[in-house]
Amino acid sequence: MLWLVRTLGCCLCVLLPVAYGSRYPFAKFPSGRRADSVPRQVKTFRRTATSLADEPYSRGTDSYSSAISPTDDVCRSRPLDLVFIIDSSRSVRPEEFEKVKIFLAKMIDTLDVGERATRVAVVNYASTVKVEFNLRTYFDKGSMKHAVSRISPLTAGTMTGLAIQAAMDEAFTEESGARPPSLNIPKVAIIVTDGRPQDQVQEVASRARASGIEIYAVGVDRADIQSLRLMASEPVDDHVSYVETYGVIEKLALKFRETFCAVDACALGTHNCEQICVNSDGSWRCDCYEGYTLNPDKRTCSTRETCASGTHNCEQICVSTDDSWRCDCYEGYTLNPDRRTCSSRETCDSGTHDCEQICVNTDDSWRCDCYEGYTLNQDRRTCSSKKLDVCASGTHDCQQICVPSGGSHYCDCYEGYTLNADKKTCSRTSRSSLSSEVTEEACKCEAFVKFHTLATSQKKN
């Protein structure tokens, strides 16, 4: 019995710290409160000498190994252009900086790294900034983690704003390996810092976000929470994380794995679709087999209402469509506005038209037309002759004589009359004009007689 009690006690000693540690991987704090002003109710994670010896870091081997298992078939990270911006100022002790590099190695292990998958770059900063490697340098995890293991701290100040600007100017460029906007690959920056920035971060972070960069801010120990919130993207609470010590920062790798994970929700088996589950942007939706339609509950399916089901209410013809049905009518009938009943089309054969000469059937009705030589009047029913003799009809307005001309007419006057300027009325020719004409002709005649006499007398001589 004593042996059993001791065994249970040992098990509890092992399990309780693990359970307790996994319950509080990180904490978030409201805006405007610094980490050192928050009551110490949040669990601070610490490691014993034994646990430190078990870390997945081999000193002197220039390499890291990850305790996170490879990404399984259910969860695959989506492609990203990911840039880590890490603080290596004087406040970060050497052993703490090693913890940051372990965090980076574990993060790399959670990603689908590759030229056409996620690309990774690291920007190291203190009072100066150094791009350790850019997005086109490595496309495999081994090379990335080896490069991470060789990063050295820069010490001195904490110029976080300068580091964000350098990431925009040097890391997130197409020359450095960032994909063009047309590919729609998300650009993500993860900033890790343990202090207050010594330069302005709000404006430069705002420009970075405006350029399309999503910013996550991770604070450790003495980090200024307000500065983290000024840097982070919206929603801020989802983009700011805090841990009390560097000893537990690697636990955030699991958090980011879930954030960047493209989950095959259907494969998880948690959906309740009756027929088909379809993956959709990290979630799922239900669909139905052919011949079925999704019910309003978005889960179950029902047989589509087709003509064969007899549930339609078409008066004459039911026509099946892809997912439902529609009504139609027999020839000579047209579908009414209720889309169900039919009415007989008004045709020339029905004798309901009132055309004076010719009735012409159209698609759904009729129209009037006229015989050759006639034209349809404005009432669209009666016809008039195209060649109307205006002079014969007496509809002209000539005072004396009407002369037909093609399809029209012109006016003229009797002898002894002239047409006035209005081209319609006539005026009698004046006597003075007649006498002048007679006198002129007489003079011409007398001159001719004299000339003839003179010519004859000269011939005789």
Average pLDDT of the chain to the nearest whole number: 78
Query: How confident is the model at residue 129, as a pLDDT?
Result: 96
Burial class from Cβ neighbours inside 10 Å (0-12, 13-18, 19+) for residue 86 reads buried
User: Comparing C-alpha atoms, which of 96, 108, 345 is closest to residue 222?
Assistant: 96
128-186 residue pLDDT tens: 999 999 999 999 999 999 999 999 999 789 999 999 999 999 999 999 999 999 999 99
| pLDDT, mean of residues 281-290 | 80
Rounded to whole angstroms, the Cα distance separating 280 from 299 reads 15
237-260 residue pLDDT tens: 999 999 999 888 888 988 888 888
| pLDDT, mean of residues 318-347 | 82
Query: How confident is the model at residue 166, as a pLDDT?
Result: 96
Query: How confident is the model at residue 396, as a pLDDT?
Result: 80
Query: How confident is the model at residue 403, as a pLDDT?
Result: 86
- Is the pLDDT reported for residue 118 higher than 70? yes
- Is the pLDDT reported for residue 48 higher than 50? no
User: Comparing C-alpha atoms, which of 167, 219, 176 is closest to residue 197?
Assistant: 219
Any idea which of 57-66, 253-262, 271-280 has the lowest mean pLDDT?
57-66
Query: How confident is the model at residue 33, as a pLDDT?
Result: 33
Assign 3-class secondary structure to the chain: CHHHHHHHHHHHHHHHHHHHHHHCCCECCCCCCCHHHCCCCCCCCCCCHHHHHCCCEECCCCEECCCCCCCCCCEEECCCEEEEEEECCCCCCHHHHHHHHHHHHHHHHHCCECCCCEEEEEEEECCCEEEEECCCCCCCHHHHHHHHHCCCCCCCCCCHHHHHHHHHHHHCCHHHCCCCHHHCCCEEEEEEECCCCCCCCHHHHHHHHHCCEEEEEEEECCCCHHHHHHHCCCCHHHHEEEECCHHHHHHHHHHHHHHCEEECHHHHCCCCCCCEEEEECCEEEEECCCCEEECCCCCCEEECCCHHHCCCCCCCEEEECCCCEEEECCCCEEECCCCCCEEECCCHHHCCCCCCCEEEECCCCEEEECCCCEEECCCCCCEEECCCCHHHHCCCCCCCEEEEECCEEEEECCCCEEECCCCCCEEECCHHHHHHHHHHHHHHHHHHHHHHHHHHHHHHC
Residue 201, phi-psi category: left (phi > 0), alpha (psi -120 to 50), beta (remainder): alpha
pLDDT band at 437 (very low <50, low <70, confident <90, very high): low
pTM of the complete model beyond 0.75: no
Share of the chain above pLDDT 90, in %: 36
Looking at residue 439, its amino acid is T
